[in-house]
Amino acid sequence: MHFSKNLQYAVSGVLALYIVFFTRPAPQMVVNMLSSPIAQLAALAAIVYVGASVSLLVALVAAVALVLSIPSREYMTLKKNDEEEKKAEEEKKKPVADAAKQVGTAALSGAAAEASNMLANLSDKAKDTPAPMPAAHPVANVSSDGKEPFLSGAPF
């Protein structure tokens, strides 16, 4: 069974209108119908059947409509009491956090002072050590007229 092109365009247009105007939020009847995973699987199987035997265009638009109509799977709900408890916990943690900040800044300033002392010691040691000798000296080929036209060895 295949739809004619005009019928495919009409069904796709209706589904597109549903997507644009009715999926945010989706109608409660559709959300209730798609709330179980088995119903979602059945709807996806129907879309695959439509795509394989009827019309790929209609199946594609129907798949988009289905995905936008499936209810979210976030099961976390906050009550007013939960929000108040979280605020109370944050207030209890606030003095501890302030103390931790003070300890952290003191530790950082101590670490910075220690790092600057280490750098000063390194610069003193660098002054005492002699400069290193070059690793290799190129040997020049001396021609019969006493000029050095080429260096021997590889350039690298």
DSSP states of 28-86 as a string? HHHHHHTSSHHHHHHHHHHHHHIIIII-HHHHHHHHHHHHHHSPP-------HHHHHHH
What pLDDT sits at residue 142? Answer: 53
Residue 155 has pLDDT above 70, yes or no: no
Mean pLDDT of 86-100: 65
Q: What percent of the chain has pLDDT over 70?
A: 54
**Residue % of the chain over a pLDDT of 90:** 32
Q: Which residue would you say has higher pLDDT here, 137 or 10?
A: 10
Half-sphere exposure at residue 49, Cβ-oriented, CA atoms within 13 angstroms: 7
Distance CA 15, CA 61 (A): 7
Whether the Cβ atoms of residue 19 and residue 62 lie closer than 8 Å to each other:
no
Q: For 27-48, how does the pLDDT look when each residue is reduced to its tens digit (9 = 90+)?
A: 899 989 998 999 999 999 999 9
Domain boundaries, the chain: 5-69
pLDDT for 94 equals 60
pLDDT of residue 63: 95
Q: Is the pTM of this model over 0.85?
A: no
pLDDT greater at residue 11 or residue 145 = 11
Half-sphere exposure of 51 (CA within 13 A, CB side): 13
